[in-house]
Structure 1
């Protein structure tokens, strides 16, 4: 258990960025620094905090916690879908297989909630009963569980841009993902969400929604 004194001392030693120039060019996202080495990716999870597409600051040990959580969940779900994890040689570091990202992000929602203008609840409250092309019944209240979890996909926006809402039909018509692959994505996403709900329930928690990329 970390006490306050140790946390305060760690403020002077947070992981803002990592420069491993011997590995080549550093790529960086809002939270992670990345290097490509052959057919592998070295992902360093920093202590940067990001919300609403902005880096807000640094929190001691956040990178370690986030990286270790990711590794734990990959282990818990490998029977549902294969993942890219090869090794975790350091609390902040993941070594992963190089993979080609898909141009869509898969958000699975188990509840109707949210506070932003892109949230499912906002759309529903404005009268949209088929958000993301999915029919929803009348009479739902904010924070209600949905009749069944739904997939609400978006584009994977470039840096500085905002994600665009998509329907399943739009994804297929625009050729963003092949039909057979998208069917597999849906199966895996709903399976992962169900596993997440099971794990959360055992701890007295609920999994409201999450995003898979």
Structure 2
């Protein structure tokens, strides 16, 4: 972290919500606050909130929004030749000006490895995920023979739910020709993300993509290949760690999920969301910053805002 800021300043200056006078109230997602600027343009503000198991944590992570937004901008630039993106401009570390798209109501998840949710399903004894047959004899973090597609519905409230391609088409959630275009784009994006990661000594383990239509054109929206949407392993030593049944160190939100599970929280009924200790919040920040620096090859330089809402007014109004 920049020596200009103390740990206390970083923790005390997290951006958890925005309020811009003169603009309609934003749509508030788990992390992003989205302002409609005109009929076809949005102002997307990435806050420092962090979520897991579909719950927003009570404490935010210093500079997470800046890291996430700038990493998304870097990754959108890397994939713009594969599919159109919603990015118009990135005028501030926390802000993206984007095309207003009609979202496709499916999260498109590509998995290259048996990790996270896929591993939890596999460990339970199931050998099918979202209609995809899983090979026998795999262990946690093994690579799949080829990447698999495991979509999920985008829930307005509560948990996203796994869904198969067959269900997407039979329920007419997405028209067949469009779904085929989405599927082809998603695998191409994953291939490109894998290449970029490998060049920087990382493995892109799995990721989610969100798509929309802008004037009828398929467009990649939300974020791409970031710490929130993707999971990464270190490439160096991966094979040795697998051979010795050692865990893989992850640059992702999985370690937050693991911390929560250790503290008896998985978002289940009757469980209490724990507070995140300050040192753990700083550890999360350091992991986000490390991935940013590894993927981009640039040092992360945080910007401390004295009056973020006033800054936003100057950008969005």
- The TM-score normalised by the length of structure 2 is 0.63
Of 154, 170, 174, 2:171 maps to 174
In 1, the alpha carbon distance for the partners of 2:26 and 2:5 equals 33
Stretches of structure 1 that go unaligned for 5 or more consecutive residues are none
Where 1:172 maps in the other structure, the secondary structure is helix
Residues 107 and 153 in structure 1, CA contact (< 8 A), matched pair in contact too: yes
Residues 67 and 92 in structure 1, CA contact (< 8 A), matched pair in contact too: yes
Report the aligned-residue RMSD. 1.5
Could you say which residue in structure 2 is the equivalent of 1:43?
44
Could you say which residue in structure 2 is the equivalent of 1:183?
180
Could you say which residue in structure 1 is the equivalent of 2:21?
21
Where 1:48 maps in the other structure, the secondary structure is coil
Could you say which residue in structure 1 is the equivalent of 2:56?
55
1:5 Cα deviation (Å)?
4.5
Moved over 6 A (4+): none
In 2, the alpha carbon distance for the partners of 1:196 and 1:183 equals 20
In 1, the alpha carbon distance for the partners of 2:91 and 2:7 equals 24
Could you say which residue in structure 2 is the equivalent of 1:203?
200
Could you say which residue in structure 2 is the equivalent of 1:77?
79
Deviations along 1:143-180, one digit per CA (max 9) or x if unpaired, are 10000000100111112x21121111110000000111
Residues 30 and 49 in structure 2, CA contact (< 8 A), matched pair in contact too: yes
Instruction: Evaluate the alpha carbon distance shift between residue 11 and residue 99 of structure 1 in structure 2; reply closer, same or farther with a 3 A threshold.
Output: same
Instruction: Evaluate the alpha carbon distance shift between residue 13 and residue 127 of structure 1 in structure 2; reply closer, same or farther with a 3 A threshold.
Output: closer
Could you say which residue in structure 2 is the equivalent of 1:121?
119
Higher RCO, 1 vs 2 (CA within 8 Å, ≥6 residues apart): 2
Residues 19 and 25 in structure 2, CA contact (< 8 A), matched pair in contact too: no
Stretches of structure 2 that go unaligned for 5 or more consecutive residues are 211-317
Instruction: Evaluate the alpha carbon distance shift between residue 152 and residue 21 of structure 1 in structure 2; reply closer, same or farther with a 3 A threshold.
Output: same
Residues 41 and 96 in structure 1, CA contact (< 8 A), matched pair in contact too: yes
1:4 Cα deviation (Å)?
8.3
Residues 49 and 58 in structure 1, CA contact (< 8 A), matched pair in contact too: yes
Deviations along 1:85-119, one digit per CA (max 9) or x if unpaired, are 001111111100000111111111000122xxxx2
- The TM-score normalised by the length of structure 1 is 0.92
